[in-house]
Amino acid sequence: MVAKNQEEIEIIKQELLRSKLPLYSGESSNSEEHDTGVSTSNDSEELNTFRYPGILLIGDAGVGKSTLGNWLLGYHGDNGPFETKASSDPVTLEPQTALLEINDRRFNLIDTPGLFDVKDNVRSEVALTKLANTINHCSYGIQTIIFVVKKTVGKEIDRQIQVIKGFLGEKSLDHILIAFTHVNMDQTMDRTLMKNSFNHKMNNFLNSIDNRWIVSPHPDLFTLDDDIVYTNVYEARDIIDSFPEAYTIDMFNRVRRAREEAEEAARMKAQEERLRACEEEIARLRNMAGVQAARNEAEKQCFSLDTIVTLEGGKKIAMSEVKIGDKVACVGYNNKVEYSEVYLIAHVDKDKQTEFLKVDYTKPDGTTGCLNLTSEHHLFINDSFDYARNIRPEDSQIQVLYNEELIPVKVTNVSKEIRKGYIAIFTRTGTIIADNVLCSCYSSCPPYQNIIHYIMAPIRFTTLFRKSNYYDSDIHPYLKFLHNNYKSITAAFN
């Protein structure tokens, strides 16, 4: 922009003053508004009456948009058709329009409510929606977007430009004119001085928009008699007139659609992520519940139904066929193989899917064998009774019946296997040879064979006189009682 010489300024001034009314009266699109020259556009029907390309005044609240509008209309900044006020509350609440004529072309100059309220998202959204409505009624397009900023805007301008680009599209920058307000007298009077005050970033940005910027005169420092007011207004008019084509509703709506699609996609993605998180949480809880249920079950279960036991006389039968009173192979108090009476079937279930540990071993003659029992069940490992879960293949030795004698044999493998049903039988010695392996009849609580056996004394005693006919998938009530008490006691010490 080249500074005007005095002669040119005089010409402009005379022209503007002479034509002030027809040019700047803000000939309203609404005939009832002629006295103020401004049409308030809170009614969308009224906005439909835009008959010329629009010139949008946009920017932060209170930045001086209406003041610049008045200057452009040929009035003093603080005394024109657009209301201006020094107020902490927004003054222009609805878009307002007045007519502006430049070089015989008419435009709707549109003053808008403040944008970018960082403290109030809702207000900012409302302002953007109103702006969108206004733009959508500019059927002749938008000749210029005048972006009004305080000279001291600083870094905030980056954010504001991002909002404008996001809302109006990258292309809107080709139609933008920056108007600085709150500029001191010297910098208002001298464009070079003003330019030199810009930092690197601002210079770059202004270069990117072909240096389309003006200074809006401070209404307290300048009057209509000041030449600089006319010079600046002329510059603004010149720039407005120079845009070869208008920013169109179509451009805006393309951006809007793209933005809405992006927002919708982001919403869908967030929704999917929330759903996935919920599903994961449900799966986690289910898994936890499953693990807990399996643990609870494991506490109750013992041997696989088809575990082989040897009856007195040598007959081998599945544990599921054992009856109360049968004598089965076990280890007696003298550590010798003997036959002991089965006095209790602690629990049995023929259907329940149960997880067992399959313990594989190889006998000295090279033949293999295996035992299926639940992980909390006790058996003789190395030199004492221990949980089955503590078996370490190649490391743990179990006691295997071989040629009528128990001999130590290494475990070759331990794996998990799901089988149908389970059974636990108690012998009077508290031990049992199951699948040829020396096991305890007991499980779950710490593997102190003698103590558990001692605790079982009452039920062993009573069944001497009255045979147990207990046969249930739930564990025998006496064992449940012991187990629950054991649990409460250990919980109290944890």
Ligand X SMILES: Nc1nc2c(ncn2[C@@H]2O[C@H](COP(=O)(O)OP(=O)(O)OP(=O)(O)O)[C@@H](O)[C@H]2O)c(=O)[nH]1
**Residues in the site for ligand X, rule: CB under 6 A?**
61-67, 78, 84-86, 90-92, 113-114, 181-182, 216, 218-219
Contact 391, 381 (CB under 8 A): yes
As measured in angstroms, the least distance from the Cβ of 71 to ligand X is 9
> How many residues sit in the footprint of Mg ion (CB under 5 A)?
3
Q: Which does 90 bind (CB under 5 to 8 A by kind): Mg ion, ligand X, none?
A: ligand X
Q: From the list Mg ion, ligand X, none, which binds 216 (C-beta under 5 to 8 Å, kind-based)?
A: ligand X
Say how far apart CA 65 and CA 60 lie, in whole Å.
8
CA-based max dimension of the chain:
134
φ, ψ at 246 (rounded to 5°): -90, 155
Q: Which residue lies nearer to ligand X by CB, 216 or 443?
A: 216
Q: How far is the CB of 205 from ligand X (least distance, A)?
A: 20
Q: Which of 1, 9, 17, 91 binds Mg ion (CB under 5 A)?
A: 91
Of residues 38-67, those binding Mg ion (CB under 5 A): 66
By beta-carbon proximity to Mg ion, the closer residue of 77 and 169 is: 77
Smaller CB separation from Mg ion, 92 or 463 = 92
Instruction: Give whichever of 6 and 87 is closer to ligand X, judged by the CB atom.
Output: 87
In the complex with Mg ion, which residue's Cβ is closer, 69 or 169? 69
Tokens representing 282 are 């449900």
Here the tokens at position 60 are 């932060």
Structure tokens at 480: 């449940």
User: Nearer to ligand X by C-beta: 84 or 97?
Assistant: 84
Of Mg ion, ligand X, none, which one sits near residue 181, judging by CB under 5 to 8 A according to partner kind?
ligand X
Closest CB 285 distance from ligand X, rounded Å:
52
Smallest separation (angstroms) from ligand X to the CB of 84? 3
Min CB(115)–ligand X separation in Å: 9
Residue 399: contacted member of ligand X, Mg ion, none (CB under 5 to 8 Å, by partner type): none
436 sits near Mg ion (criterion: CB under 5 A): no
Q: Decide if 145 contacts 240 (C-beta within 8 A).
A: no
**In this structure, what are the phi and psi dihedrals at residue 407, rounded to the nearest 5 degrees?**
-125, 150
- Residue 128 binds Mg ion (CB under 5 A): no
* Residue whose entry in the numeric block shows the structure tokens 């003054």: 91
Tell me how far the alpha carbon of residue 481 is from its chain's centroid: 47
Closest CB 181 distance from ligand X, rounded Å: 3
Question: Which listed option, Mg ion, ligand X, none, makes contact with residue 62 (CB within 5 to 8 Å by class)?
Answer: ligand X
In the numeric block, the tokens 């081998």 are attached to 316
Which helix (H) or strand (E) element contains residue 202? helix 200-208
Q: Helix, strand, or coil here: 60?
A: strand
The one-character DSSP state at 22 is I
92 binds Mg ion (CB under 5 A): yes
Q: Which residues contact 89 (CB under 8 A, 6 or more apart)?
A: none
Nearest-approach distance from CB 244 to Mg ion, in angstroms: 29
Residue for token digits 């169109």? 248
C-alpha to C-alpha distance for 265 and 168, rounded to whole angstroms = 19
Kindly tell me which of 91 and 324 has the beta carbon lying closer to ligand X.
91
Torsion from C-alpha of 492, 490, 416, 381, nearest 10 degrees: 160
Toward Mg ion, which CB reaches closer, 69 or 447?
69
Segment interacting with Mg ion, rule: CB under 5 A, options 83-91, 257-265, 394-402, 410-418: 83-91
Partnered with residue 372 across adjacent β-strands are 358
Beta bridge partners, 426, equal 344
List binders of Mg ion among 205-234 (CB under 5 A): none
Amino acid at 418: I
